[in-house]
Structure 1
Amino acid sequence: MSAPQTVDVCVIGAGLAGLRAAQQLCEAGLRVCVLEARDRVGGRTEGGVLCGQAVDVGGQWLGKTQTRALGLCDELGLSTYAQYSQGQRLIEVGGKLRRYRGTIPRMSLFALLDADRALRRINRAAAQIDPAAPWAAAEAARWDRMTIDQWLQQTLYTQSARSLIDIVVRAVLTCDAHEASLLQFFSYVAAAGGKVETLAETLDDGAQHLKIAGGAFQLAQRLAARLPAGVLQLGAPVHAVEASEAGVQIVHARGQVQADRLVVALAPALAAGIAFASPLPAARIQLHSRLPMGSVIKALIAYPRPFWKARGLSGEVASDQGALGPVMDATPPGSEHGFLVGFFDGHHSRALAGMPLEHRRDAAIRALQRYFGDAAAQPIGYVDKDWISDPWSQGCYVGIAAPGTLTTCGPALRAPCGRIHWAGTETATRWAGYLEGALESAERVVAEIIAARV
């Protein structure tokens, strides 16, 4: 075997967090290598093609308060445009499809008051949480013992209101309400600015307000292109790590690296696939098995024309029964065709994961026919990404904390383990789960490493 490559810092993972950290460490004058298991960069962002147009089959949306991501767009010469949201929205609750405008759909007065009360309680709880330490909140122990579903059953009186919040949970966390800790949900809202409506919205203050012209996958591609030659190695999954006082040895599929410091820019669930020869703290080891990824398949469907616009619809759909949802307009600027983007999430995605693409396409079209009628029956193109079945992702958008995880293991999320540092959007204190969170985590580990070398 050839001699190990010697660097100051080795970064595992060429997603946005890993690439941004590598770029900044290189600019600081350090010798860096980036090891990526895939044959591409981007992590949970990825490009696809639909009817000759570049599309995002991974993460893509930005919000106005996501200043790091917007700044990176400017730095890399990328422009943004607003998510199409003109017209009425559709929602299906209890088998009834309704049009509405605004954030909350039309319901009975009792259900409307019930839902509004729940949203206010979520936001009040989020206001009590420091996103950097949700486990320190006064009610953290109680909230972390409960699933979101248990809280909904105790809090809400009407089925319509419960269905509405269930829809929000699946859309935001890509899991079902009985799977996730209530504390994680509240802290996720806190990290997004403190209003659950922000996470679900496409309007001015929403997390889905802006898109990157040409696709968000370009962020990683352009960052990678700026790295010095030889820094990035694709097709190099890491098998083992051994850290000592002298440094860190990394064994990967293409060789070995000897580094002074290591950045693991992976979701905790993926870090579980690495053999750490030097023992990690117990709480860190537990995180690797107690933060499984969310469950989602992202699908884009093309039609000859955006027929929903002619009907006065925005293309936005949410449903408590249809397999595909939420749905939004995804038509690229200037395209003569009409594109929709939708998500199979939670239990819907697990039922379809690993199935043939034609099977998922048929399920998507059936759902769109439920919402839009016969006009949705004849698409001219379909592309999707089964994130659950991707071995180097195991799901999206973010790791899901089971009850009891954050209060017992949460402090280990960001804490360095000697010479090993942890990045990735799960570790962010602002906009965890988003591109913005990945960039925040990169800045933090760079600061940690530079401080440690002084």
Structure 2
Amino acid sequence: MQNEIEPERVEVVVVGAGISGLQAARLLRGKYSVKVLEARERVGGRLQNHFFANGDSVDVGGQWVGPGQDRMYRLIGELGAAIWPLYDRGDNLLYLAGKSRRYRGTIPKINPIALADLGLAMARFESMARSLDPAAPWLHKKALHWDSMTLDSWLQKNCRTKLARQLFAVGIGAVFAAEPAELSLLHALFYARSGNSLETLLAVTGGAQQDRVHGGTAGLCEAMARDLGERVRCNAPVESVTELPGGSLQVRYRQGVIICNRVIVAVPPNQALRIRFEPELPAWRDKLLQRMPAGSCIKCVARYEKPFWRDSNLSGQVASPQGPVRVTFDNSEQGKASGLLMGFLEGDVARYYSNVSPSERREAVLDCFARYFGETARNPLEYVDKDWSSEGWTRGCYAALFAPGTWTGGGARLREANGRIHWAGTEFAVEWFGYMEGALEAAERVAAEVDAVLNGTTGHHDFNKPEAHHV
């Protein structure tokens, strides 16, 4: 029998080197010894770069930042990165019944009856969302009612025309990577309120898709990891967290063991279920994690010699209730000659195309691009897609979905620590849930929690202040 490996000892172990876990470690490392354990061979989590043969890179994970995401802009500045706006000039396209229609703005031009129907439904939804407190959506006087129905059932009652329902569903797919029937109405309202409004989440200029980061958002995580140095360990999946006599925690991972005072779990909720906790997590926490499955998304990018659609005064943005690609963007990087078209496969479509051959999926995506932008789009120089549901340590994107009953059944305790175990990640945010901004907000909250208990105080340390960032 081999001797047990001598355990390391630190004060805080962070499980997961996504942007939330890395930021939590950066905020704490000036006062406490910290170790970050990452299962993958890379940092970044749901943020990842792909490099084309010509050296250009593209985000195949989360990529956008926009107004109101102050933590993200501050982090980008801190790390010396630069941003540029997503291309948003020219006409957008609505592809409907085999024909393309040009339009400007967020809502496409359709027949007046369906347009009025869609506008009224959007206005009702936004009004309901504004009435929520994103810090406690379960306290709303209609929370039980809204959490008892799906977003789809609400749409059936509030969109009288089929076209309005279809277009609303396209927007929902773009925001949640899910079908309306998968979502609690209360969760959809909370999510919109968390990011200001549904219109904000759908918009480019002035909205959540406004800006990109040179070098990719994964590059931010790589810079954060370099800053943390040997505190970050990759290829280190955590197997168990065990409470020892006296209260300290033993974290066992593939290469060894660490004894610590506090553990921050900063992985997607479905991945937290892979970790064995001893004693077991409270039943309510386990049930809550089980009820937080990830959305389904495949992100697809084709590289062309140039962004040829701009020659026709097109923005590269398409909305279509047909598929499989229902939303596209011009993802070309500023200062680079190549044209990049990006599209999403989401919800049911993503689940279907996750189970076909890569060549069949590529053909289906390029068929859509050619339908929208002409035959030139069928023959890119290079093509890449990323099926996040098949990513071993993620199993879905963009974020966790809350089905009916989840918020009112357990949401009040979502962000609560379980003894010495704390929870970070975008799914534990109040503001910008599902976005990188939310991941940073959760990192600040959990860092303050851990600092308060380790420092022997219950006071709030404002990790949002610039001087609190230990760079």
> Structure 1-normalised TM-score?
0.97
- CA root-mean-square deviation: 1.2
Distance 2:284 2:98 in 1: 44
Distance 1:296 1:95 in 2: 25
Distance 1:95 1:433 in 2: 33
Secondary structure of the residue aligned to 1:123 is: helix
Instruction: Confirm whether residue 174 of structure 1 aligns to residue 177 of structure 2.
Output: yes
Q: Identify the residue that residue 22 of structure 1 maps to in structure 2.
A: 25
Q: Identify the residue that residue 16 of structure 2 maps to in structure 1.
A: 13
Q: Identify the residue that residue 422 of structure 2 maps to in structure 1.
A: 421
Counting aligned pairs with the same residue, the percent is: 42
| Deviation of 1:109 (Å) | 1.3
Q: Which amino acid aligns with 1:70?
A: Y
Q: Identify the residue that residue 109 of structure 1 maps to in structure 2.
A: 112
Q: Are the equivalent residues in 2 in contact too, given 1:134–1:183 (CA < 8 A)? A: yes
Q: Deviations over 1:58-87 (max 9, x none)?
A: 101000210000000000000111110100
Write out aligned runs for 1:115-194 (5 A): 115-193=118-196
Q: Deviations over 1:361-393 (max 9, x none)?
A: 111101111211212121111111110101100
Aligned length: 450
Q: Identify the residue that residue 71 of structure 1 maps to in structure 2.
A: 74
Secondary structure of the residue aligned to 2:262 is: strand
> Structure 2-normalised TM-score?
0.94
Q: Identify the residue that residue 215 of structure 2 maps to in structure 1.
A: 214
1:94–1:135 Cα change, 3 Å? farther
Q: Which amino acid aligns with 1:258?
A: I
Distance 2:276 2:85 in 1: 44
| Deviation of 1:131 (Å) | 1.0
Secondary structure of the residue aligned to 1:226 is: helix
Secondary structure of the residue aligned to 2:250 is: strand
Instruction: Confirm whether residue 327 of structure 1 aligns to residue 328 of structure 2.
Output: yes
| Deviation of 1:96 (Å) | 3.9
Runs of 4+ aligned structure 1 residues displaced above 6 Å come to none
Secondary structure of the residue aligned to 2:228 is: coil
Q: Identify the residue that residue 197 of structure 1 maps to in structure 2.
A: 199
Write out aligned runs for 1:52-63 (5 A): 52-63=55-66
Secondary structure of the residue aligned to 1:305 is: coil
- 1:97 aligned to which of 100, 116, 120: 100
Q: Which runs of 5+ in 2 are unaligned?
A: 457-471
- 1:32 aligned to which of 34, 51, 55: 34
| Deviation of 1:438 (Å) | 0.5
Q: Are the equivalent residues in 2 in contact too, given 1:303–1:381 (CA < 8 A)? A: yes
Secondary structure of the residue aligned to 1:256 is: strand
Q: Which amino acid aligns with 1:37?
A: A
Distance 1:299 1:157 in 2: 33
Moved more, 71-80 or 88-97: 88-97
Q: Which runs of 5+ in 1 are unaligned?
A: none
Distance 1:432 1:395 in 2: 16
Q: Which amino acid aligns with 1:324?
A: V
Q: Which amino acid aligns with 1:240?
A: S
| Deviation of 1:311 (Å) | 0.6
Secondary structure of the residue aligned to 2:74 is: helix
Q: Identify the residue that residue 233 of structure 1 maps to in structure 2.
A: 233
Q: Deviations over 1:107-160 (max 9, x none)?
A: 111111111111111111111111111111111111111111100001111111
Distance 1:232 1:363 in 2: 40
Q: Identify the residue that residue 443 of structure 1 maps to in structure 2.
A: 444
Q: Identify the residue that residue 267 of structure 2 maps to in structure 1.
A: 266
Instruction: Confirm whether residue 312 of structure 1 aligns to residue 292 of structure 2.
Output: no
Secondary structure of the residue aligned to 2:284 is: helix
Q: Are the equivalent residues in 2 in contact too, given 1:82–1:209 (CA < 8 A)? A: yes
Distance 1:159 1:142 in 2: 25
Q: Which amino acid aligns with 1:283?
A: W
Q: Which amino acid aligns with 1:174?
A: A
| Deviation of 1:334 (Å) | 2.0
